[in-house]
Amino acid sequence: MSEAGQGAYGYREVPDTEALAAAAADGDAAALDALLRAVEPEVVRRCGRFLLYREDAEEAAQDVLLQVARNIGRFEGRSKFSTWLYTIVANCARQKYRELKRRAAEQPLPAEEHQRPDPRTTSVIAGSRLDLLEALDRLERDSPHLVAPLVYRDICEMDYTEISERTGIPLGTVKSRLHHARRQVRPWLVVGDAPAPVRGDSGKR
């Protein structure tokens, strides 16, 4: 491989993840390896917007990278790779939350006051940030069509155009659904130490 090729694959410079994704989708194993290394820090950070404990975010991130490796052949380039990736991030992080919630429900109460339950499992119920995930599950039961715009915009921080491309929903409908989702979710959230993830429109496009 030439030095220029090495640069394009991120060995000597900041990688172009869109180019790497396209090459990886065509079966280039070296491109896939470089892509996974390039996106891992951002994937961990994005998972951390869902999950309070870094260990949980890192575990969810590993699930994301595994899903990318397994499914990169399905990436057709119709939307940006980052848009495709953040869908996987949202799904894996929420699945990790559900696993932790099940673990918390199955965990017996401590026998003595000085014994504390695993903070990773109790955090999914009492964590100041994670009550948003409970609200998302409730929103999915009540108004499933409102979930994707809220997750993509307020947690994944995607712009409206990306959300429209990913969901196949017109831009105006995306904004309308986001407005209704925020209004429906806000009363369910418990204000804690962390800033509330559901926000007003900042004007970002």
| pTM over 0.75, yes/no | no
Q: Which two tokens stand for residue 115?
A: 């014994």
Residue type, 152: Y
Kindly report, residue by residue over 53-66, the tens digit of the pLDDT: 888 899 999 999 99
Q: What gap in Å lies between CA 97 and CA 59, rounded to an integer?
A: 11
pLDDT of residue 122: 46
> Please, what is the average pLDDT of the chain?
78
- Pick from 83-87, 143-147, 158-162, 199-203: least confident: 199-203
The pLDDT > 70 percentage for the chain reads 72
Residue 200: pLDDT band (50, 70, 90) is: low
* Residue indicated by tokens 């896939």: 32
The pLDDT > 90 percentage for the chain reads 38
- In terms of DSSP H, where are the helices of 49-199? 54-71, 81-106, 119-126, 131-142, 147-150, 160-167, 171-185
pLDDT of residue 137: 85
Dihedral of CA atoms 97, 99, 100, 106 in degrees, nearest 10, equals 150
Kindly report, residue by residue over 56-100, the tens digit of the pLDDT: 899 999 999 999 999 999 998 887 898 899 889 989 998 988 888
Gyration radius from the chain CA atoms: 19
Residue 174: pLDDT band (50, 70, 90) is: very high
pLDDT of residue 118: 53
3-state helix, strand, coil in the chain (%, to 5): 70, 0, 30
